[in-house]
Structure 1
Amino acid sequence: MATFGITVGACFPNLNGFKTVTKHPVCSVSRKGVGATGTILVTGSIGSCSSRRRSCIYRLSSSSSKIMASATTETEKLGIKIVKNPPESKLSELGVRSWPKWGCPPSKFPWTYSSRETCYLLEGKVKVYPDGSDEAVEIVAGDLVVFPNGMSCTWDVSEAVDKHYKFD
């Protein structure tokens, strides 16, 4: 089950006549699979709902509606594993907040991993170019990333980085 956080102004076409979520301090969507029906829980005012605080629950077919959301996703590209928007429970389980921190300003530099590194970006934006590839892997604040032992690459930091890291 994935959990989504929906941004202010997210649009829900054909959702009981409501077109836009304008204010909502809490909003989540749960999905059990691709094309599955999800549940949206919104607290706050929505569309033409009353302006007083209330909770509204709507059913939504994820295959027919577009949601501006940030989901927890796991991908691997060019040997680099990325978990976008990991849940806090995962970060706590790993002990991420107790790991040492490292940061750097915008810069470009080569790097070779002498052991596997797992890091969690608190701030920043980086394109990592593994040696021998013209493609880059972009990592941003909120990403949990695993770099394999022995990888040589070039870090191109476009926004200052602040991260927790751990070497295995």
Structure 2
Amino acid sequence: MNIVIEHNPSSIKLAELGVMSWPKWSCQPGKYALVFEERETCYLVKGKVKVYQKGSSEFVEFGAGDFVIIPKGLSCTWDVSLFIDKHYKFDPPTSL
């Protein structure tokens, strides 16, 4: 699935990246079908989720305190078990 997860990154790394100034997104527990049009980098402040790639029963799980990179083009289902609160940013689209 190529999702990269770093558990408990240092506060220095988060500060250097400016993570706390990124926009926030949150969602209630439930299942959400998502397609990532651009690569997303995010840091989960709260929550827990299992991510299933479309058409697969395999999943990756991450939650509060995790720094995550989600690849461009991923079509998946987020099975959110605990309320999600995260900072995120998308890579800028490449120009034609």
Q: TM-score range by the shorter chain?
A: over 0.9
Q: Secondary structure at the match of 1:114?
A: coil
- Structure 1 vs Structure 2 CA RMSD: 0.7
Match status 1:157 vs 2:93 = no
Q: Say how many residue pairs are matched.
A: 91
Tell me how far apart the structure 2 counterparts of residues 151 and 92 of structure 1 sit (CA, whole Å).
27
1:66-77 correspondence to structure 2 within 5 Å: none
Residue 71 of structure 2 corresponds to 148
Tell me how far apart the structure 2 counterparts of residues 122 and 138 of structure 1 sit (CA, whole Å).
15
TM-score normalised per structure 1: 0.53
Residue 80 of structure 1 corresponds to 3
Match status 1:89 vs 2:12 = yes
Cα-to-partner distance string for 1:26-67 (whole Å, 9 max, x where unaligned): xxxxxxxxxxxxxxxxxxxxxxxxxxxxxxxxxxxxxxxxxx
Tell me how far apart the structure 2 counterparts of residues 133 and 142 of structure 1 sit (CA, whole Å).
26
Tell me how far apart the structure 1 counterparts of residues 77 and 53 of structure 2 sit (CA, whole Å).
6
Higher helix share: 2
Residue 135 of structure 1 corresponds to 58
Match status 1:110 vs 2:33 = yes
Tell me how far apart the structure 1 counterparts of residues 30 and 54 of structure 2 sit (CA, whole Å).
18
Deviation beyond 3 Å, 4+ runs, structure 1: none
Amino acid at match of 1:134: S
TM-score normalised per structure 2: 0.92
Higher relative contact order (CA 8 A, sep 6+): 2
Q: Cα offset for 1:128?
A: 0.4
Q: Secondary structure at the match of 2:9?
A: coil
Q: Cα offset for 1:133?
A: 2.2
Tell me how far apart the structure 1 counterparts of residues 56 and 80 of structure 2 sit (CA, whole Å).
18
Amino acid at match of 1:155: W
Q: Which has the larger radius of gyration?
A: 1
Structure 1 segments unaligned to the other structure (5+ residues):
1-77
Q: Cα offset for 1:130?
A: 1.1
Q: Cα offset for 1:93?
A: 1.1
Match status 1:123 vs 2:46 = yes
